[in-house]
Amino acid sequence: MVEKNGAIDQNIKSYDALMSPKQLLTDLPRTDTMTSAMEYGRKSIKNILDRADPRKVVIVGPCSIHDPKAARDYAAGLKEIADAVSDHLVITMRCYFEKPRTSLGWKGLIYDPYLNEGGHIKDGLHLSRRILMDVLEIGLPCATEYLEAFTPQYNSDLISWAAIGARTTESPQHRQLASGLSMPVGFKNSTHGDIAVAVNAILSTKHEHTFLGIDEIGDASIVRTKGNRYTHIVMRGGSNNSNYDAESIEHVQQMLTQANLPPNVVIDCSHGNSEKDYRNQPIVFQEVLRQVRDGNDGIVGFMLESNINAGSQKIPSDLTGFDPSELEYGVSVTDSCIDFQTTASLLKEAHKNLARV
């Protein structure tokens, strides 16, 4: 227990020492194969954003990863598809370990790796890094969402694309964080559908920032950034509306142009755009693909929430006697996902259509 010190720590139960980022990277070092896959993803996505590469990026995979074996199995299957469509699509796997919750719920593998609310964050950091390494060894670039400012020090050397989520796009802390990240970053519009907050985030992130953080050995530091010019909007719809239709996309691209920003957008086929029904993701994907075929070059990519099997399942609120091994294999424990067969069909359909453009 924490010894109370005057007016501070009144609601703190304990402080537990955390290994430094350098220690974790030493324990789990990146190999040349991993580096090659990570750099391929970063370079390809940057070239797509610069319009130097005519391909489209697809950020695809589980809403969140809770089962390392299922993640590896999914990655192995996705790699076969990625190789087959690589002349028109850059496939990057969603490896999301931090889940910002609207109220309560499982916060992700980093914070709760055993799905028991045990708070084993050190184990979560090790396990999540191991999963990223496995995916890269298979040959796929990795994408993730960053929630905490410290997390990138522990895994960003393995990440090709990062997201700032709908609940945090307006946060100054996350804009500052993104300005120092080494990979392209997508800012989602707000949960209510507000696009202006994402445009303002991009404008902010392009500039230098100074903020509080940690360095590679875990020391509290003043962080000074150069700014990140590879930031863009991810349109995910809102609470009561979608924004994947041609009129909505063109309106956002006009907003970006007026702000002297590249009119680059990635369309999230889930969340508000699917009306939170995973079965609608193919409809969204196909409509956006049609717009690409009709000549909207500013649509630089797609996002799909996909798993081995369709739908979702719940971690019980009462964990008494709960055994994570009893969960259905390859099924999301957060947002519902389309299954792998549907995913493969969509990616092959996109490849076939883009070959005609």
Confidence of residue 356 (pLDDT cuts 50, 70, 90): confident
- What's the pLDDT score for residue 3? 60
pLDDT > 70? residue 47 = yes
Q: What is the pTM of this model?
A: 0.96
What is the pLDDT averaged over residues 47-71?
Answer: 98
> Nearest to residue 140, comparing CAs of 232, 73, 46?
73
- Write out pLDDT tens, residues 121-171: 999 999 999 999 999 999 999 999 999 999 999 999 999 999 999 999 999
Is the pLDDT score of 313 beyond 80?
A: yes
Residues 6+ apart with CB under 8 A from 273: 235, 236, 237, 242, 243, 244, 267, 280, 284
Q: What percent of the chain has pLDDT over 90?
A: 91
What local confidence, expressed as pLDDT, does residue 357 receive?
A: 72
CA separation for the pair 330, 106 (Å, rounded)? 17
CB 185 within 8 A of CB 235: no
Residue 337 contacts residue 312 (beta carbons within 8 Å): yes
Backbone angles phi, psi at 290, to 5 degrees: -60, -40
Q: pLDDT value at position 7?
A: 82
Task: Pull the structure tokens for residue 150.
Answer: 């410290």
Could you tell me how far CA 289 lies from the centroid of its own chain? 21
Provide DSSP, 33-101: HHHHHHHHHHHHHHHHHTTSS--EEEEEE-SS---HHHHHHHHHHHHHHHHHHTTTEEEEEE-------
Per residue in 331-343, pLDDT (tens digit) is 999 999 999 999 9
Query: Is 149 in contact with 179 (CB distance < 8 Å)?
Result: no
Mean pLDDT of the chain: 96
pLDDT bracket for residue 101 (50, 70, 90): low
